Structures are given as C-alpha cells and as structure tokens.
Amino acid sequence: MNVDELRRYADLAAALDAKYVRAFLGELPQGKSLDSSIYKKITDCLNDASEYAKSVGVKIAVEPHDNFVRSIDVAPIFYRAHSSLRVIWDVGNGFAAGEYPAEGFDVLKHHLAYVQIKDGKGRNTNWRLCPLGEGDVPLHRAFGLLLGTNYRGAFSVEWEYAWHPELDPPEIALPAALRAVKKLLADAQPESA
C-alpha cells in the first residue's frame, strides 16, 4: 500500500469536494498468508493515510477485493484502525466469494462508507456479472439488512463495462440499474443481522 499515493488522492478528492478515496488492499505475494504482521503493516499504512485524509476533509474507504474480498478478511484492519477509516460494502464481491449478505453486513456495518451494488450468477470461478436484479446475489436481503439499521448512506451501482464488454452499454445498463435499485428499496423489508 502506497501512503504517498493515497495522500495525493486525498488532495485530489478534497479539490473535487469528494467525501472518500477508495483503497484496495491488493493481493498477497506468492506463498504469503494473512497473519498479524500483514494486518499490522496494512493498518499502519491506512492509519497514516487516514490521518492525512482527515486533515484535508476526506476519508479513506477500503473496498474488499482480491485476497481481502471476504468481510472476515477485512475486519482485523478495523481492530486498530483510525476512527475515520471506512469500508465499502460490495455485496456482489462478497457473495461471489461465498459470503452471504448477513455475514458481510454483520462484520462491516459499523464502518460503512457506502454500499456498492452489482449482480451476477454463480460463485467463485463461475462468477459472471449480469444486469442488476437478474442474478443470484440476494440483493433483497442486503437491502433489508440496511433498512433494518436505518442506513441513510449512498448506493453505488458498479458497472464494469470496461472490463466486461458483454454487459449492456451505459444507455441501457444505467437506467435499468436505477429502476432496479428503486424497486429494491421499495420492496425491501427491514431485517436484522
């Protein structure tokens, strides 16, 4: 993790009046496993970057991805994290890795920056993105959990057309995603984790 790079992004975010800088924790070197020394290094870097970001009015938000896609693998960072460090709950990424919404939400709910929504079919190596509302991700459950805690934050629809040109183009995908999110919000019943 490059603290100087996160500081530059924090400056840019502040200049743009953005609230967050998204950070990925990346992949572990071959043969390395998650242990307390890895978490300490990551947390130290994120704490330095978060302190700087806070000084310019921005927060760092970690997106679970790569070797840190499951919420349980991100959680240890928050044991020693800077008070302003946040996480992006990507319901689709977690589900693709075998995590159900209640698991991810229970671990991350006190640190949410915002919620990233996407849909797909299959899991693990069989995961394939699809239009929002047409996949296997239990989005109704995720929205119910969020409503159950009176979540008032933002939703971000992740549309990965640049990496997946088989997806619908923006003029089709984005209006359809907006309709799907509105329907999910209207239909969801508050739940507890």
CATH number for the domain harbouring residue 120:
3.20.20.150
Domain co-membership, 108 together with 149: yes
Q: Which domain holds residue 135?
A: 85-193
Q: Which residue has the higher pLDDT, 161 or 56?
A: 56
Domain co-membership, 69 together with 110: no
The domain tally of the chain equals 2
| pLDDT tens per residue across span 93-150 | 999 999 999 999 999 999 999 999 999 999 999 999 999 999 999 999 999 999 999 9
Last residue of a domain, one of 52, 84, 116: 84
The structure tokens 């890795």 sit at: 97
Of 88, 73, 97, the residue nearest 23 (C-alpha)? 88
70 and 37 Cβ atoms separated by less than 8 Å: no
Domain co-membership, 124 together with 72: no
Hey, is 105 helix, strand or coil? helix
- pLDDT band per the 50, 70, 90 thresholds, residue 1: low
Query: Is 70 exceeded by the pLDDT of residue 90?
Result: yes
Domain co-membership, 71 together with 150: no
| pLDDT tens per residue across span 4-52 | 999 999 999 999 999 999 999 988 878 888 788 889 999 999 999 999 9
